[in-house]
Structure 1
Amino acid sequence: MRWPRPTARGWSLAIGGLALTVAGVGIGSAELIRLGLLGPVAALIGGGWLLIVDPTRGRHPLRVRRTVAPNPVSVRAPATARVELRAADASGRARLAELHLAEQAATQLSGGLTLRARVVRAPGLVTVTYPIHPTRRGRWPLGPLVVHRTDPFGVARIQATLGEQAEVVVWPEVAELAIPTGGLLGEYARVALGAHTPSSDDAALRDYREGDDLRRVHWASSARHGALLVRSDERSGLRPASVLIDLPKERGAIEWTVALGASMGIALLGAGHPVRLLGGRVTEGTVSIDPGTRLHHLREGAAREELLDLTVDLEPAPTELAAQEDLLAAARELTSPGAGVALVLAVLGSLSVATRGALAGVGDVTDALAVVRVPSAAGVERREAEHTLAALRRAGWRACAASPGEDLDVCWRRLLGTHR
């Protein structure tokens, strides 16, 4: 149970009244004693009144409903939070009146700035609306609502929290990267996987299902049959792709790496490639789960959202040894018999000799492209990154250097223009 606390005025009245009371006792003045007792009594009456109108008390407590739209939201994309504080009966409306409201939000949602809210009051309802500006990928808390109220004399104050926390999911900020006509490698985007790729004239048709791309609708056949029909083999011959992400330790470089990897995956999805994400770690409680141990072949329609969801909780491995083990496991996965990987895109840092050798084998069995983070400052880390870049190129990768924080589209176009 929350108890009222005196305000500055309340403390002044109480202390001043007690001083007068002591003085009245000392000189034997009943009038001065009665006058002195007025201060403490007023403070007690104010506190008692606040207990009656305490917003957390009553048979029908105030109800809080919090929504964020859109949710999930991307870094630096606008979103709006709305909080509704509603009273169900007359006593609740009395507790709701004259409440002062304050909303709590993680600094990753407010950018460290004070939230400026619009408050609308109606009988039995208070609505608070304010914009949020996400600055970092992750899952961030919003709320609970902090309410406080003072008594009519201004001598006591009570504060409480109402409602539960809401969670705002923040995706990385991605760029719309263009896939060149004819595919990433200047070849056809289709490959013969055990059979010749059928022409569009031989496409089998099936009934339209919710979520299908309307560009796949075969309008002529749909008109003849009186129902929407789509080409069922529209994507059957497209090259399966994997996006490999090697996360560094620096926070800024982590976010840039995740954003570039997610942008690559979305570009591949937009071109029709089945995509999976490898690398990084997702922490759930005290258990670390490598998302690369599960294939994430993303469904059409929800593919973009699913891929972005996979990136929300990605964090680097806790140690350099663990990070190396993750990359070695990914290399084994990509080169294993029957892996079915025809295209690999990677965002990598400086690699150990063992990791370079393992990833060199990827270039032998599939088409592979990589962006290697090369620090701008001279030093050991820069030399190791340059050795990594040279080793990948010798192994048949198309690889280019980039600095964390660089424009993603510029980096992507440089990668596409790089030869083996």
Structure 2
Amino acid sequence: MSDVLDVEQLRSETPGCKAGAHFNHSGASLPSRQTLETIWDYLREEAADGPMETATRAGERLEAVRADAGSLIGASPGEVAFMGSGSTAWGAAFAALPPLAAGDRILVGRQEWGGNLATMQAAARRAGALIEVIPVREDGSVDAAALASMMDERVRLVSLTWLPANGGLINDAAAVGRVARAAGVPYFIDAGQALGQVPIDVAALGCDVLKAAGRKFLRGPRGTALLYVRREFLSELTPSYLDVSSGPIVDGKVEIRDDARRFEASENSPALLLGLGAAIREARSLGIEAVRDRIASLASTLRDNLRSIPKVTVRDLGSQLSGIVSFTVEGIAPTQVRAALSERGIAIGANGVPYTPLDMAARGLDQIARASVSHLNTMSEIALLSEAVADIARRT
């Protein structure tokens, strides 16, 4: 395993590492002390000097966060908006698309996140539009060639969850982008599990919109998210609501901003955004490639360990794999596995059908246990988790 990262130093700077073995980074990871202190320091200043006054002084620092966020994903600052959650970000962009009409088609990946899918289904139902699933390849990943054969003049959107929530698959998002761009169809990427785990270059992906929460592998605070909107695509989007920041009235006329901040509200949390900025700077200083390589190595070891345990089935799909390791234990519900591990000081997740309804239904799964690996994890923690799962399986 690469020793590019000083993992022990990083763990010493992360208070949560002392609380137990954390394998729920795809739910929410552990922020560094620097990120936490950035938030706390701002809140103390806000309490002493007043919230509005402190925010005014922090203006340049907040714009630096926007620039850093853009650099992290290969975007310009004007293509980045800050939102309170990934769901809010995706929903705001989707609601800004031209209204659907009867017979319109939306093409989605089989692993589409349930929140996005619910939003699309509700809109399609109102309009009489159709949602169709892009076929998958033999390894379970999205089939870009099949997508190309589905394109026609009725397709209004292609939507893909890049790294699905229910397993280790990494879809070929760039291949989908090439198809969508050639057809002139808007392309949305849900990069919730990608941000901070794998390198992101929005130009190479060919997407028009990309969203991701800050709390996952990036290790930012909850209540923060990025929304990228390609500058040339902005004119095709009409926000569903405006305020004095995104669309002020000037001389009696509404002037909608000409950048991605047309999706931002004037009210936000500067403390959380500055904390997000600290997390972004840390990720960039480490190098996302080094983070990706360490996560891949640790996750591969965990999968091998789990596959060797009787009654345990690894449920991951794909040829290219992320740090999200999904599995089931025969005779025990994933939520019970999670609870049993929690009693041993090991945190994992457990996902049901609502998270990825199309894929779970296609594979006949109702729940999976989800152990998501970070560069902060160690081989001793991998062994601890593996041994604990083996003990739980023996007791069933």
Structure of higher CA gyration radius? 1
Higher relative contact order (CA 8 A, sep 6+): 2
TM-score norm. by structure 1 comes to 0.22
More strand, by proportion: 1
More helix, by proportion: 2
